[in-house]
Structure 1
Amino acid sequence: MSSQTADSRPSLVWVALSIVYVVWGSTYLGIHYLIETIPPMVGAGIRFVVASVLLAAVLAIRSGGVRVLRVPWRRLGTAALAGVLLLTGGNGMIGVAEQHMSTGLAALLVASVPLWLVVFRWATGDRPAVSTIAGVLVGFGGLALLTLTRGGGSGSALGVAIVLGAALSWSVGSFLSARLPMPANPFVASVYEMAAAGVTLLVIGLGRGERLHLHEVSQASWLGLAYLVTFGSLVAFTSYVWLLGNAPISLVGTYAYVNPAVAVLLGVAFAGENATWTIVAGGLIIILGVGLVVSTERRPRGEVTAPAPPGTPRRRRERRRSPRASRSTPGRPPRRTGVR
């Protein structure tokens, strides 16, 4: 590596991290403007279909042909499943929820994703550290406060239920995508994830009666859609994937508790939302819990218990270094779940 490259890498890391912080935190505001005059599911469907086509075109041009997009049918199927869980059930429902709640409250409830991932690990036999469990309990305490008070009147019970379901769907998709055979190239995987999610969202949206009337779409909604396609689904994701290969995963994982703060501030500044005391208190508690989980899981472990194959007697499980075990921690963002 040249000295120039080595010297510029720390700066590039912070540029890419700043993009992930700000852009992913701002997607909630982008959705707010999108759904002003575009139906939420149809709008999200258009977003992901267009983004998948653009990303596929870029990959084909850079690789000299469409061969880069060829993957085995099984991996194509699992990528599509991940896309439906992550982007249809997860991201797509955020637009529906924001019809009934503020962007800041939605972002704070979605911040519970790393907490759910710890719960899934526990359910599958991976016992996290005591401090990780403490972080989960703290985070769920903040989640309960926001849910029971609906953010101090910043959202309806329906909106809260929808966004909690979206966070759960995103968590399931994140958990499974780390364990299913996916396309080796994360950009190719994202093409099929976004394509599957976009088509599914369009089918569901049109099926439930959503219609796009072009003459009624405002300039703000068009700008919101363009922003979500270019920055939310392409620029930020590219930065995220680059970070995974060039920065400590503990640093990359900080996006999980920075994005909600960015979303709340932007909602207050540009959408006229109020930061009620319950949003501030509940948000701080959730961020504290997530921060505790991430900081605990990022600590170096010389020895971890490797997950044993199904049916392996407990006494035969050996303690050894396990890259797979580290991949399942919420402190490391799932490799293919960064599309917002």
Structure 2
Amino acid sequence: MTSPAADPDPDPAPASASAAKTTTTAKTATTIKMTTTTTTTTTIPASGTLAAPAPRRITGAVWAALGIVYVVWGSTYLGIRIVVETVPPFLASGSRFVVAGVLLAAIVAWRHGPAALKVDRRRLGSAALVGLLLILGGNGLVNLAETTVPSGLAALLIAAVPVWVVLLRTATGERPGPGAYGGVLIGMAGLAVLTLPGLSGDIGIGGVLLVVLAALLWSLGTVSSARLPMPANPFTASVYEMLAGGLGGIVLGLLRGEHHGFDPGAVSGRSWAALAYLVVFGSLIAFTAYAWLLQSAPVSLAATYAYVNPVVAVLLGALILGEALTWPILLGGGIVVAAVCLIVSTERRG
């Protein structure tokens, strides 16, 4: 789960939720998901009427960035599954985001100067809280769950984040609309079908429930990021979210005793490669691509990652790890993706 500030890496990146707080994605996804505000200059012609802002062009660069977000964030579930084969889950998640946070801080300081990393205590605390919810709670629990749950099933369960976001928004007094609530009902039906492998004993029910809890915590972080005072620069916010969530994961891993008997020399080469992939591609490249998309492309187009990522994850899990495509996964996954499509489409019309 590596989505950026408002989105499910799983990853989301998937990596920080603060960057979508003013977008449709912050309302619905995951997943990650960032707070980006685009200022539009409106021209008043001589007639006195307001000219409509020019629509954003969908260029080749936009499609390239969208492809990166689709494939890379969708592949993070596969990456996590490979990492936790030989690396303890919370130590893996925590170290990944600490390294990514340090690298992103260096990039921000290089591009904008060290002053760009300065924030007051209130905003620092908000970013840390959001990071703990998204990265420690959301991503960390996905790492733990994927020690027993297939990566494709985990991705489909996390895809229901927009369903939880709608419910949390309702609890805070918002009224997303009948279309969004229809999506919630459909999504809940999909989740019920997806839990059947756990209820039947084919997969540990504990792992399934961990992913559901991870999705709920990710959703809480997404909603909280829209209501707390966050750093103005979304990349700076992401730095502190990654560092707080990553350090929290390492501390929790140590408290769980994950370091006892852990030998870094026994980590497989493919686990090291997957961890490096998650740091560089999942937490940095895809996040940067998504942040750029929010500035350069229609939000409705950028938000489509929410229902493409789980499809990519399921296909990669089946092709590379040989994960079974059972009827509960196919049917339940299809229902959840349909629910997310309904919620996202309703939000972008609102």
Q: How many Å apart are 1:150 and its aligned residue?
A: 2.8
Change (3 A) 1:7 1:173: closer
1:122 to 145, 151, 170: 170
- From the two aligned structures, give the one with the greater helix fraction: 1
- SS of the residue 2:148 aligns to: coil
Matched, 1:13 2:65: no
Matched, 1:79 2:127: yes
Change (3 A) 1:246 1:210: same
CA contact (8 A) 1:25 1:261 kept: yes
Q: How many Å apart are 1:7 and its aligned residue?
A: 11
CA distance in 2 between counterparts of 1:238 and 1:71 reads 21
CA distance in 2 between counterparts of 1:167 and 1:151 reads 19
Q: How many residues align?
A: 294
For residues 275-286 of structure 1, what are the structure 2 equivalents within 5 Å? 275-286=325-336
Change (3 A) 1:60 1:124: same
Matched, 1:250 2:300: yes
1:30 to 53, 57, 79: 79
1:186 to 223, 234, 238: 234
CA distance in 2 between counterparts of 1:127 and 1:202 reads 38
CA distance in 2 between counterparts of 1:8 and 1:129 reads 30
CA contact (8 A) 2:56 2:298 kept: no
Q: How many Å apart are 1:154 and its aligned residue?
A: 5.5
1:307 paired residue number: none
Matched, 1:92 2:140: yes
Change (3 A) 1:8 1:137: closer
Once the two structures are superposed, what CA deviation does each residue of 1:164-201 show, in whole Å capped at 9, x if it has no partner?
Answer: 11000000000000110000000000000000011110
CA contact (8 A) 2:89 2:140 kept: yes
2:317 paired residue number: 267
Report the residue type matching 1:53 in the other structure: V
1:41 paired residue number: 90
Change (3 A) 1:184 1:154: farther
CA contact (8 A) 1:16 1:239 kept: yes
Matched, 1:214 2:264: yes
Report the residue type matching 2:83 in the other structure: L
CA contact (8 A) 2:183 2:339 kept: yes
1:147 paired residue number: 195
Once the two structures are superposed, what CA deviation does each residue of 1:106-160 show, in whole Å capped at 9, x if it has no partner?
Answer: 0000011001111112112211221221111011100011113439765310101
CA distance in 1 between counterparts of 2:308 and 2:137 reads 23
CA contact (8 A) 1:29 1:103 kept: yes
CA distance in 2 between counterparts of 1:157 and 1:119 reads 24
CA contact (8 A) 1:110 1:167 kept: yes
Change (3 A) 1:72 1:214: same
Matched, 1:173 2:221: yes
Once the two structures are superposed, what CA deviation does each residue of 1:27-68 show, in whole Å capped at 9, x if it has no partner?
Answer: 0000011111111100111100100110111111112x3211
CA distance in 2 between counterparts of 1:56 and 1:7 reads 30
Report the residue type matching 1:178 in the other structure: A
Report the residue type matching 1:31 in the other structure: I
- SS of the residue 1:298 aligns to: helix
Once the two structures are superposed, what CA deviation does each residue of 1:262-283 show, in whole Å capped at 9, x if it has no partner?
Answer: 0000000001101101100000
CA distance in 2 between counterparts of 1:193 and 1:210 reads 23
Once the two structures are superposed, what CA deviation does each residue of 1:235-275 show, in whole Å capped at 9, x if it has no partner?
Answer: 00001111111111111111111111000000000011011
Change (3 A) 1:185 1:160: same
Change (3 A) 1:244 1:8: closer
CA contact (8 A) 1:71 1:183 kept: yes
Q: CA RMSD in A?
A: 1.6
Q: Stretches of 4+ moved more than 2 A in 1?
A: 6-9, 148-155
2:287 paired residue number: 237
CA contact (8 A) 1:41 1:205 kept: yes
Change (3 A) 1:256 1:154: farther
Range with bigger deviation, 8-17 or 149-158: 149-158
Once the two structures are superposed, what CA deviation does each residue of 1:8-36 show, in whole Å capped at 9, x if it has no partner?
Answer: 86111111111111100000000011111
Report the residue type matching 1:18 in the other structure: G
CA contact (8 A) 1:68 1:188 kept: yes
Report the residue type matching 2:346 in the other structure: T
2:4 paired residue number: none
Report the residue type matching 1:82 in the other structure: V
- Aligned-pair identity in percent equals 57
Unpaired segments of 5 or more residues in structure 2? 1-54
